[in-house]
């Protein structure tokens, strides 16, 4: 799974974004106190500076801090991770020392004794507060050699089932207490805090190993990559912009060439082989049509940026269409009757099985409600349905030779139907944005979804106001001729999250280029509870600070700019002072 990636232009901006993320995780926590394991090194220093300048981030919240790794040195030493954090932020802001849990240094104590003691403290903390896992959040760094949490390349520390272990630096031989891979795996959330241009290539390699198809043995070459792979939920906060696709290697260029849909016309070439075997040119016409469609869609792709991912899933199948009889004849030489009578239904039966497998294999993808996942499922289901319907048709009309031509034709239609529908939809939307439309009513119903002090916004929302291309509320509709406001709201409710009834907030006049119109604003106030599944894809919750920053940059729709001035002094203000319900409580 690709980790979340948050980019900011500098270390200070990264520290601010990371602090905001911590606040959101704290607000969404199901139990308290909230516990964070901090890394050492140079990267967290900017984060500590930000906390010292904004002490409310920590002082207004019940957060306990633990340490990911530590050298066995006195707290006064500049090599002490806890000591550096204490001097940089916790002492200056007067943070409660009872909420700090350092890996204590005791003179004369062995490293193994320190590990055992810290593991006992962690387990006691977990039991005292009945927490599923001791750490709600682990903040890790990435070293230039690919290490993390004092887990260095070349060490074999994968089978230790305790939260902390003994680690030895491979160069200087200094012993450390370090969070184990098992401790990282158990944490509900891991954030990799990485800054500095010198780590650009290393971070790219870490991500590539973590999310690629490499084996665990290869991934373990870089401990940070293996930690990122095994983490339950990983995020990256960085000031590093990874190299773009223009810097791809040879393998990437070869892969993109192989997956190029324009290569589908090559499937016509095996027709010559089929002809030489005496099967005629039954496949020539549909494959030439497919080549023509590819040329047409290649042009449309450049205009509407159509995605061909669902085609890739079926490209190997399409390439095998001309071969199906030749392959069966060669495999079943001497059984021509079986091949001649049953090759086509056998192939379609295999297609049905493959479609069922495809549907089940991307079921998890479907649950995410991502558009590409829905297209893949639609394509699999359509191909399976076409194949299943063709079987009885073939049996009834098995004596007609023209049925062999229906085989490739139906497959091509089933694969391209998804893309055709997408193209028509894109073209319709493009036409509606360029051709003036007559609005029957100058009254609009809009619904805002609010969580805490955040508002749900989406880019280019698919509403009745197609001309709006900025970030806006995703749910709105104009009152049609002959409708009243409640009827329009009922129509809009079909697209709203189930189980949440919008409450009327205000009526106001919005100025626009057509002379203005009346807006009825409704609100679904989630408090601080988890957002329903219907609002987890396609947009995100914007905090007040981000909205204020983007208002003057032209990123928000003019209508939302007006109503936000009212929202922030009513619902958003009320949510900030009312006791909050916790997510999952």
Same domain, 278 and 137: no
Residue of 562, 558, 567 whose CA lies nearest to 468: 558
pLDDT digits (tens, 9 = 90+) for 354-413: 656 555 554 444 443 444 445 555 555 666 666 666 666 666 655 555 455 555 555 545
Same domain, 349 and 457: no
In angstroms, the CA 514 to CA 343 distance is 64
Residue 503 belongs to a domain with what CATH number? Answer: 3.90.79.10
Domain assignment present for 582: no
Residue 307 has pLDDT above 50, yes or no: no
pLDDT digits (tens, 9 = 90+) for 416-468: 454 455 445 445 544 443 333 334 457 888 888 888 778 888 765 434 443 44
What is the percentage of the chain residues whose pLDDT exceeds 70? 56
Q: Kindly state the average pLDDT of the residues 553-560.
A: 73
Which burial class, exposed, middle or buried, applies to 551 when counting CB atoms under 10 A from its CB (0-12, 13-18, 19+)? middle
Q: How far is CA 452 from CA 33, 166, 457, 514, 561, in A?
A: 20, 43, 14, 35, 19
The predicted structure's pLDDT at residue 180? 95
Residue 254 has pLDDT above 50, yes or no: no
The predicted structure's pLDDT at residue 233? 92
What is the percentage of the chain residues whose pLDDT exceeds 90? 29
Least confident of 186-200, 383-397, 535-549: 383-397
Same domain, 299 and 424: yes
Domain assignment present for 305: yes
The predicted structure's pLDDT at residue 82? 95
Same domain, 141 and 190: yes
The predicted structure's pLDDT at residue 487? 87
Same domain, 383 and 470: no
Same domain, 378 and 464: no
Q: Which is more confident, 480 or 97?
A: 97
Give the residue from 219, 243, 267 where a domain finishes. 243
Give the residue from 404, 432, 460 where a domain finishes. 432
> ∠ at Cα 67 (232, 543), nearest 5°?
60
Q: How far is CA 440 from CA 174, 414, 437, 443, in A?
A: 76, 38, 9, 9
Rg of the chain (C-alpha set)? 30
Q: Which is more confident, 33 or 201?
A: 33
Domain assignment present for 138: yes
Domain assignment present for 165: yes
Confidence of residue 305 (pLDDT cuts 50, 70, 90): very low
Give the residue from 243, 270, 305 where a domain finishes. 243
The predicted structure's pLDDT at residue 495? 74
Name the percent of the chain in helix, strand, coil, to the closest 5: 50, 15, 35
Q: Kindly state the average pLDDT of the residues 94-108.
A: 92
Same domain, 428 and 447: no
Residue 45 has pLDDT above 90, yes or no: yes
The predicted structure's pLDDT at residue 342? 53
What end-to-end distance do the CA atoms of the chain give, in Å?
Answer: 28
Contacts (Cβ under 8 Å, ≥6 apart) of 213 = none
The predicted structure's pLDDT at residue 280? 47
Confidence of residue 155 (pLDDT cuts 50, 70, 90): confident
Same domain, 358 and 405: yes
Same domain, 209 and 316: no
Q: How much is the mean pLDDT over the chain?
A: 72
Same domain, 207 and 239: yes
The predicted structure's pLDDT at residue 424? 52
Residue 38 has pLDDT above 60, yes or no: yes
Number of domain units in the chain:
3
The predicted structure's pLDDT at residue 142? 94
Instruction: Give me the domain span that covers residue 321.
Output: 257-432
Residue 237 belongs to a domain with what CATH number? Answer: 3.40.50.1360
Domain assignment present for 83: yes
pLDDT digits (tens, 9 = 90+) for 9-19: 899 999 999 99
Domain assignment present for 153: yes
Same domain, 108 and 238: yes
Q: Kindly state the average pLDDT of the residues 39-64.
A: 92
Domain assignment present for 250: no
Residue 287 has pLDDT above 80, yes or no: no
The predicted structure's pLDDT at residue 467? 41
The predicted structure's pLDDT at residue 68? 96
Same domain, 485 and 544: yes
Contacts (Cβ under 8 Å, ≥6 apart) of 522 = 445, 446, 447, 448, 489, 502, 503, 504, 505
Domain assignment present for 102: yes
Q: What is residue 417's three-state secondary structure? A: helix
């Amino acid at each position: 799974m690709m980790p979340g990636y948050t980019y900011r232009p500098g270390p200070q901006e990264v520290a601010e974004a990371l602090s905001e993320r911590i606040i959101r995780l704290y607000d969404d926590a199901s139990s308290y106190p909230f516990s964070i394991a901090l890394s050492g090194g140079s990267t967290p220093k900017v984060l500590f500076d930000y906390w010292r300048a904004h002490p409310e981030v920590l002082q207004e919240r019940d957060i306990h801090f633990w340490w990911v790794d530590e050298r066995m040195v006195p707290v006064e030493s500049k090599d002490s991770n806890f000591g550096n954090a204490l001097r940089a932020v916790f002492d200056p802001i007067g943070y409660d020392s009872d909420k700090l849990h350092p890996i204590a240094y005791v003179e004369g104590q062995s490293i193994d004794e320190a590990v055992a003691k810290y593991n006992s403290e962690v387990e006691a903390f977990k039991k005292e507060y009945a927490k599923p896992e001791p750490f709600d959040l682990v903040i890790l760094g990435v070293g230039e050699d690919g290490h993390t949490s004092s887990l260095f390349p070349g060490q074999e520390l994968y089978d230790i089932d305790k939260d902390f272990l003994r680690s030895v630096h491979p160069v200087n031989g200094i012993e450390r207490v370090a969070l184990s891979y098992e401790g990282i795996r158990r944490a509900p959330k891991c954030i990799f805090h990485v800054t500095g241009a010198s780590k650009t290539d290393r971070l790219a390699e870490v991500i590539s190993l973590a999310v690629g198809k490499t084996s665990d043995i290869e991934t373990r070459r870089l401990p940070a990559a293996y930690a990122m792979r095994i983490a339950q939920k990983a995020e990256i906060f960085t000031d590093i912009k990874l190299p773009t696709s223009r810097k791809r290697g040879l393998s990437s260029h070869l892969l993109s060439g192989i997956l190029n849909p324009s290569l589908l016309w090559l499937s016509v070439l095996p027709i010559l082989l089929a002809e030489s075997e005496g099967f005629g040119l039954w496949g020539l016409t549909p494959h030439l049509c497919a080549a023509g469609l590819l040329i047409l869609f290649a042009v449309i792709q450049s205009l509407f940026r159509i995605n061909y991912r669902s085609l890739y899933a079926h490209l190997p199948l399409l390439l095998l269409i001309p071969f199906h009889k030749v392959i069966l004849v060669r495999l079943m030489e001497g059984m021509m009757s079986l091949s001649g009578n049953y090759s086509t239904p056998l192939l379609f039966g295999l297609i049905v099985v493959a479609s069922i497998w495809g549907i089940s294999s991307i079921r998890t993808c479907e649950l995410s409600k991502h558009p590409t996942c829905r297209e893949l499922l639609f394509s699999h289901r359509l191909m399976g349905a076409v194949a299943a319907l063709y079987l009885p048709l073939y049996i009834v009309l098995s004596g007609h030779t023209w049925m062999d031509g229906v085989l490739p034709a139906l497959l091509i239609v089933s694969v391209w139907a998804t893309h055709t529908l997408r193209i028509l939809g894109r073209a319709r939307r493009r036409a509606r944005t360029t051709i003036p439309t007559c609005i029957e009513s100058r009254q609009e119903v809009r619904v805002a979804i609010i969580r805490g002090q955040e508002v749900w916004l989406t880019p280019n929302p698919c509403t009745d106001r197609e001309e709006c291309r900025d970030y806006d509320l995703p749910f709105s509709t104009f009152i049609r001729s002959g409708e009243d406001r409640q009827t329009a709201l009922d129509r809009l409710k079909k697209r709203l999250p189930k189980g949440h009834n919008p409450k009327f907030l205000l009526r106001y006049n919005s100025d626009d280029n057509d002379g203005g119109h009346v807006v009825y604003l409704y609100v679904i106030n989630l408090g601080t509870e988890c957002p329903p599944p219907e609002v987890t894809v396609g947009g995100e919750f914007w905090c007040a600070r981000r909205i204020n920053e983007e208002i003057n940059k032209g990123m928000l729709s003019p209508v939302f700019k007006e109503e936000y001035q009212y929202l922030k002094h009513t619902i958003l203000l009320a949510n900030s002072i009312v006791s909050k319900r916790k997510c999952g409580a």
